[in-house]
Amino acid sequence: MASLSSLQPSNFPMTTAVAARNRSAAIIHHRQPLTTCNFYSNPPKTLFSPSHIRTATAVASTIEIEPLDVVVSDSLPLKKVLIPIGLGTEEMEAVIMVNVLRQAGADVAIASVEPQLEVKLSGGTILVADISISECSDIIFDLVALPGGMPGSVRLRDCKTLEEITKKQAEEKRLYGAICAAPAVTLMPWGLLKRKKTTCHPAFFHKLPSFRAIKTNLQVSEELTTSRGPGTCFQFSVSLVEQLFGESASTEMSKFLLMDTADEVSRKEEFNEVEWAVDHTPRILIPVANGSEDIEVVTVVDILRRAKLDVTVASLEKTLTISGSHGIKIIADKLLKNAAESIFDLIILPGGVSGVERLSKSRILKKLLKEQASNGRKYGALSSSLSILHKQGLLQNKKATAHPSVVSMLDSNTIVGSQVVVDGRLITCRGLSSSLELALAIIAKFCGHGRAKSVATGLVFEYRAS
């Protein structure tokens, strides 16, 4: 499979003007690289109220800080980012952008263009926005970034308030961007692609002005940044980080997302003899809790549902609404105690340190995993959640991969340095950027490489059967 880091931009800005990320006045520290700062378990977050955006505080003792060259002044404002969503917005794109930009230190507002804050996205995932778009008119944003998806891009296009905000953004030479269908469906009718080189999803490429349309995964044209689809969204988001915070920040973010490692699916020769084909639509359970890694949850759900697999997101909490690792609120399909009454062909555990801790204490989940293994059914884990399988004794004589933060607690004979590993009934992946490969590998095992390749094409992601 293709490496996300191998996707070549045609015009990637290499700005170095910003020496440090802007932080909340409550977090006045020296700047620390993401690779040494414990951002995986303690990411910086922001909170929102209907009337204004307010910055969140953080407990300094939870983040290891080493002396660095630059002190962030409390007089510097946070970089404010607007990411609007509407009915049918592409969930992977929205969540990846929000997650990555919040990790970089931006104050990100998820704004609903619908009458309500709960918005059903293109793959059926329901997100709860932070704020209504009507309350964003008087806020000056450093970046307005539009996710794609259909009919989400049309819903964004038809929102007059968002149109006014984005036009003002462009007129005042502040950053704006769009991905997937949004450049052609949303920005072009607003007249915001004039004299700009632009790219978009291949299905909408013919709508762009032919002499300025560029067939590339990422295109930066002055204040405008465009990209092609879910499969290029990590690259798109890291580019936005660079334009907001500088080259060193984007380099650190790429490493943190594990985009700098080789993307490959590791299967021993005998692994290919194990097929997961079933005589019904594969049923997949994804248990979630407060603190679960939102990128991993939404990415896997979105991709598996594109392949018409039956996916159930089940909340460990007392309510269906869970707050992900970076404050993104997701509404699950069922409570875990109710989902436990059914049988699933595969149980996949998402990462996120706080979420993993909560999942690991669930008696219901422990029982489900034990029954899953004893009955010869499939199970798997993303990133740090491999620790749950380890504690349950489900990694004996297995090869697996995991997020670097938990590798030290596992048997060295277990760990393989690949992005995705399939060993019989077990499937695992390293982390955020490899969640796409994990989902495609699941599709290939249940439905064959043909369907996996078809789904990857829609994502604008290169799939290579291995």
Query: Among candidates 202, 213, 154, which has minimal Cα distance to 180?
Result: 202
| Residue 432 zone, left/alpha/beta (φ > 0; ψ -120 to 50; rest) | alpha
Among this protein's residues, is 200 annotated catalytic? no
- Please give the structure tokens belonging to residue 414: 């277990």
The answer to whether 242 touches 311, Cβ cutoff 8 Å, is no
Q: Is 323 helix (H, G, I), strand (E, B) or coil?
A: strand
In whole angstroms, how far apart are CA 306 and each of 124, 156, 456? Answer: 10, 22, 10
- Burial of residue 431 (CB within 10 Å: 0-12, 13-18, 19+) is buried
- Could you count the other beta carbons within 10 Å of the beta carbon of residue 17? 7
The answer to whether 147 touches 121, Cβ cutoff 8 Å, is no
Dmax over CA atoms of the chain, in Å, equals 62
Among this protein's residues, is 206 annotated catalytic? no
Of 159, 180, 200, 233, catalytic: 180
- Could you count the other beta carbons within 10 Å of the beta carbon of residue 341? 7
- Which helix or strand (DSSP H or E) is residue 370 part of? helix 363-374
Among this protein's residues, is 180 annotated catalytic? yes
Of 29, 201, 326, 390, catalytic: 201
Query: Among candidates 186, 298, 181, which has minimal Cα distance to 229?
Result: 181
Does a cis peptide bond (omega within 30 degrees of 0) precede residue 151? yes
Of 90, 91, 93, 264, catalytic: 93
Catalytic positions, written as ranges: 93, 180, 201
